[in-house]
Amino acid sequence: MSNSEKLPQAMKKLPALKRNRICLSQSDLVRTSLLDEGSQLPLVIHPAVEGACLSDWTAVNGEFLSSSLRTHGGVLFRGFTMEKEADFERFVKAVVVKPMHYIEGATPRTKLTNLTYTSTEYPPDQSIALHNELSYVTRWPMRIWFFCLQPAEERGETPIADVRRVYQQISPRVRDRFIEKGWMLARNYGIDMSLPWRSVFGTEDPGQVEEYCRSSQIEFEWRDGGRLRTRQIRPAIARHPQTQEILWFNHIAFWHNSSLEPEVRQAMLSVFKIEDLPYNTYYGDGSPIEDSVVEEIREAYRKETVAFPWLRGDVLMLDNMLVAHGRSPFKGARKVLVSMGEPNSERGV
């Protein structure tokens, strides 16, 4: 057999080349831009070549991402090969050093894997107000990730806002009052619109709930029929551990009864005493927060809100202390997955 005949035979024995993706390893192999030149949030990262592998790129560019998050608060990865839940799972494993799980949650969601969940399963015609994830607990995630597997037919954005700027939008008079008093979250579990305490705390044992509450600075009260009422007082602001900037970091407006739709608020107050509402917020000394104050806070969020349409395969990465997120109403099927990690318990104030 001649050398020319041997060559094709040898080539058949070589392993097949994978051509379905290209894995980048340097920050200069991506392009960056802004969605809106008038806003620094979010920074958009695009692949410089077709078929880029996001999980491999992020695994070796952690410092670049950390620096980008400190500056912008959020990064939108767009145009990478992200088609399935498994792609998001691979990405999360590449970027999450310490994963976190939901506890003290307030809305229904489905756990898909040890790292991923569905986004909040809330009626599609309702909006979800801007908030920093788990700001009311003693240990919250520093980072949160969203993956758009299926954009809605209409709307369904995940609006975001830089809470450094939200803090600046609120008048010093209001800020100083909350800095002095803090804020209180009051919850009644299993009352119509609220989740039962068993699913919130992940246990059937009241003793474990009590132990958790004591360790997490939560007052608790058992009521007739095994119902649970809790109160927790938290600071209204925080100082970011890396940037040292002051942040508006709380759920004050999110759960204040004035944030309910007027018809819903009227209907609920016709059934419940105000202290029996599923959720409500107060000043830290237990006194009522004026509706006008909460409206000022909501307006501060509105002024700083950035929203953009989801594209299939988008991944949004947020510094959860710098940036609040929410959800717009939508029509049609919508599937956005969520993961969170890097627990923190230092508010810095």
Read off the pLDDT of each residue in 244-270 and give the average, rounded to a whole number: 91
pLDDT in tens, 158-190: 999 999 999 999 999 999 999 999 999 999 998
Please give the structure tokens belonging to residue 247. Answer: 């942040």
Which range among 1-10, 42-51, 120-129, 210-219 shows the weakest confidence by mean pLDDT? 1-10
**At a CB cut-off of 8 Å and minimum separation 6, what does 201 contact?**
103, 104, 208, 209, 212
CATH superfamily of this structure's domain 21-132+140-163+307-344: Clavaminate synthase-like (3.60.130.10)
pLDDT in tens, 295-315: 999 999 999 999 999 999 999
- Say how far apart CA 318 and CA 125 lie, in whole Å: 25
Whole-number mean pLDDT of the chain? 88
| Tens-place pLDDT, residues 15-67 | 443 444 444 445 568 899 998 878 899 999 999 987 778 988 888 888 999 99
pLDDT tens for 289-298 read: 999 999 999 9
Verify cis geometry, omega within 30 degrees of 0, for the bond prior to 172.
no
The CATH T-level fold of domain 166-301 is: Double-stranded beta-helix (3.60.130)
Higher pLDDT, 50 or 254: 254
Residue 209 to residue 177: CA distance in whole angstroms: 32
For 67: left if phi > 0, alpha if psi spans -120 to 50, otherwise beta; the answer is: alpha
* pLDDT above 90: percentage of residues in the chain: 66
3 pLDDT tier (thresholds 50, 70, 90): very low
DSSP string, 91-145: HHHHH-SSB----S--S---B-SSS-EEPP---TTS-EEEE-TTTTSSSEEEEEE
Q: What is the average per-residue pLDDT within 131-140?
A: 95
0.95 exceeded by the pTM? Answer: no
**207 confidence band (pLDDT: 50, 70, 90):** very high
- Would you state the torsion angle of the CA atoms of residues 51, 52, 55, 57, taken in this order, to the nearest 10 degrees? 170
Question: How far apart are the C-alpha atoms of 246 and 233, rounded to whole Å?
Answer: 19
Q: Which two tokens stand for residue 155?
A: 């709307």
pLDDT of residue 260 exceeding 50:
yes
Query: CATH 3.60.130.10: which residues of the chain?
Result: 21-132+140-163+307-344, 166-301
pLDDT at 343: 93
Rounded Cα distance, 288 and 5, in Å: 89
Question: For residue 206, what pLDDT band results from cuts at 50, 70 and 90?
Answer: very high
Q: What is the CB neighbour count within 10 angstroms for residue 125?
A: 8
* Region 327-349 average pLDDT: 93
